Amino acid sequence: MIRIILWKEMISLNKYLLIFVLLIGNISFAQDYLKQQFDFAKKLFDEEDYYDAITEFKRLQFFDTSNVYISSSDELIAQSYKNGGKYSDAIHYFTLAELNATNNDDIFKLKIEIVRVNILRRTTDNALQLLDDLEKEKRWTDKIGEINYWKGWSYIFADEWDKAAEEFSKISPDYELKLLCEKTNEEKYSVTLAKIMSAFLPGSGQFYTGNYLSGFLSLGWCALWGYVSVNAFVEQRVFDGLAVANFLWFRFYRGNLENAEKFAVEKNLQISNESLKFLQDDYKGEKP
């Protein structure tokens, strides 16, 4: 009788041991599968096959019930969307990655990634607000230089080169990007000054921006129709004078103001684009 009881207990013990072994085997197999799936998706990402990488990372997340790879896969999904120009989706997944991040360095890195996407899609107010929030938190006091760096880039993409130079100067007075921003800002034309100059002397705003032919034409036409209008009034041809003043002189005078503004804006855009092209092609530092 005792032998039978012992035999049954041994069978029961072996059954539990078998279940334990199978469970450990399944866990090990699952972990191996998840790692293989992550490595496969990462390989697609490294090969810049972003569409398939996103699909495989999402497949990984479906089977990763323990959320072992949740933060890293969300981050790489976000990077894939960013590289594909889908900025709203990128911000969504960077935010998810941040929520699942486990240490301060990862959290800060992901917050900066969100800032960089906002810079690229030119939602400057969002980027600056996020950076201001980071600057106010005491745990990021050792990251102030990096925060100022991305503030500078935010202002560059907003075409506010003077403010960008101010932020980069907080890193170093002779910082490369600070000098570039100052140079760009100094080369740009004042749109307001161009309009004021042309208001007082037609054509002078165009001269200011280097568009001499347009300046001479504006000055010539305004002078001609102004003379004709004044001469009509002198000869007491009031209606002729009013007609010339309203329909000819005023038309060319207004066109002169519009041209002064347009040429200044176009010149400034050209100057900004040249600096942006340098940053894109020749600047070796980190970019958005």
> What is the pLDDT at residue 20?
39
pLDDT at 241: 41
Please tell me the predicted confidence (pLDDT) of residue 253.
Answer: 59
Domain boundaries, the chain: 1-102, 112-187, 191-280
Long-range pairs of 200-205 with CB within 8 A, sequence gap ≥ 24: 202/252, 202/253, 202/256, 203/256, 205/256, 205/257, 205/259, 205/260, 205/261, 205/263, 205/264
CATH of domain 1-102: 1.25.40.10
Q: What is the pLDDT of residue 192?
A: 80
pLDDT of residue 121: 92
Q: Got the DSSP string for 176-244?
A: HHHHHHHHHHHHS--HHHHHHHHHHSTTHHHHHTT-HHHHHHHHHHHHHHHHHHHHHHHTT-HHHHHHH
CB 201 within 8 A of CB 219: yes
pLDDT at 146: 92
What are the pLDDT tens digits along the chain (288 aa)? Answer: 555 554 445 545 444 443 433 334 344 445 677 888 888 888 888 898 989 988 988 888 888 788 888 888 888 999 999 999 999 999 999 999 988 888 888 898 999 999 999 999 999 999 999 999 988 888 888 889 999 999 999 999 999 999 999 999 999 888 899 999 999 888 888 778 777 776 666 766 676 777 666 655 665 555 554 544 545 444 444 444 444 444 544 565 566 666 677 778 888 888 888 988 988 888 888 888
pTM over the 0.95 mark: no
**What was the pLDDT predicted at 92?**
93
Distance (Å, rounded) from C-alpha 134 to C-alpha 143?
9
> How far separated are the first and last CA of the chain, in Å rounded?
79
